[in-house]
Amino acid sequence: MHLIALKQTILERHPDLPAKLLAGFREAGRLSVQYMSPDLIASLEKERDILGADPYSYELGEIEKRTPQTLMRYQIEQGLMSKELAGENLFVEA
């Protein structure tokens, strides 16, 4: 599951938009290295060595899926939401 949240009406008109956005985000990340200092690049490489996979991959793993669920639970407790939304309704499968 990828982290791209769009209105359903936009998705119906442009079904290829999530894939194009994801590709754009990934390309921007790839190109951003040319603007980084050597220290920042070394820091990011160390982060990847420690965490394993790319921590900025725009994908939701099991751990990342818990964050929106927790946020919704807090919003329900505070009266900001009436019910929790299903995870598959929050993001687009790409």
Tens-digit pLDDT profile for residues 72-87: 999 999 999 898 887 7
Q: What is the pTM of this model?
A: 0.58
Provide the mean pLDDT of the chain.
83
10: left (phi over 0), alpha (psi -120 to 50) or beta: alpha
List the chain domain ranges.
8-89
Q: Is the pLDDT of residue 31 over 60?
A: yes
> Sign of the CA dihedral 28, 30, 31, 34?
positive
pLDDT at residue 12, as a whole number: 84
What average pLDDT score do residues 14-40 get? Answer: 91
Number of C-beta neighbours around residue 18 at 10 A: 19
Pairwise pLDDT comparison (32 vs 2), residue with the higher score: 32
Say what the alpha-carbon torsion angle 31, 32, 36, 39 is, to the nearest 10 degrees.
Answer: -90
Q: Please name the residues in contact with 85: beta carbons below 8 A apart, sequence gap of 6 or more.
A: 72
